[in-house]
Amino acid sequence: MQIEGELIEIYDTEQVSERFRKREFVVEYTTNPDYPQFIKFELVQDRCEGLDEFSTGQHVAVEFELKGRHWTDREGKIRYFTSLQAWLLKALDKAGPPPPDDDSRPPEGTDDLPF
């Protein structure tokens, strides 16, 4: 999956356990300017340093996986959680990528239609 948006927040790397670390960041995703969405992603393990080259305010593309897990709490109740695990960030121009060239139309004045 991929979305594009503005990088709003970058958090420090968190050492969750002896063998696991993560780093979170927030992207403002705007499909409707009246209702922007603030989406929190995480990078894990050796991908945490991938955020070092970015700064807030940049327009980025985020490629990620939707992850879901469950665990049993101390009372024996099953709990569920969802995470958006990013695996690639790309910096984009504010204007976004240029539109593709449309070579399917002939240049003006060159159509050979009889009407």
| Residue 4 and residue 59 in contact, taking contact as beta carbons nearer than 8 Å | yes
Q: Which neighbouring-strand residues pair with 5? A: 60
Query: In the chain, where are the structural domains located?
Result: 2-92
What CATH class is the domain 2-92?
A: mainly beta
88 CB contacts (<8 Å, ≥6 apart)?
A: 50, 62, 63
Residue at 46: amino acid letter: D
pLDDT digit of tens for each residue in the chain (115 aa)? Answer: 999 999 999 999 999 999 999 999 999 999 888 999 999 999 999 899 989 999 999 999 999 999 999 999 999 999 999 999 999 999 997 654 455 555 555 555 555 555 4
Global confidence as pTM? 0.73
What token pair was written down for 64?
């990620």
The Cα 90–Cα 104 span in angstroms is: 30
The Cα 42–Cα 31 span in angstroms is: 21
